[in-house]
Amino acid sequence: MAKEHGHPLPKKVSSPFKKLQESLGLWHDYVVLTERMLCESTDDLLAHHDAQLQRNILDLAGLTLKRAEAQLLKVADFWKTEGETLTAEIRGHFPLTQPVEPPKPQPTVETTPAPAPAA
């Protein structure tokens, strides 16, 4: 998007984003595949009709979830080691136009308790 708006980024910024995008994309693909397998097998009552095939689906779902987790761990590990540097690099190219200030606390509204009913 930056390039399309006249702000090309150096490779040291775009390459890590491509890696993050790839890992997040694979994570999403594996999660959706897992959910579809389980939904389809449930909707078709596969356990009722072909128990062995249902076991195979469950085994495959376990494998795809492990692969999804591995992709998400890649993202987390990358961000732990490179996130601060990458953020600083991006801020160097796209500085904030205004300083970021923490939100101001909202005043609390005091309510008067309702009077107790007469006995």
Q: Chunk the chain into consecutive blocks of 10 residues (it has 119) and report each block's average pLDDT, rounded to whole numbers.
A: 74 83 96 97 95 97 97 94 86 74 78 69
Q: At what angle do helices 11-43 and 51-93 cross, to 10 degrees?
A: 160
- How confident is the model at residue 87, as a pLDDT? 85
pTM of the model: 0.67
Give the domain ranges of the chain.
Answer: 28-87
Residue 114 burial class via C-beta count within 10 angstroms: exposed 0-12, middle 13-18, buried 19 and up: exposed
pLDDT at 101: 76
Contact status, residue 78 vs residue 16, Cβ threshold 8 Å: yes
Q: How far apart are the first and last CA of the chain?
A: 70
Strands (E) across the chain are located at none
Position 119 scores a pLDDT of 62
Closest CA to 9 of 114, 89, 99: 89
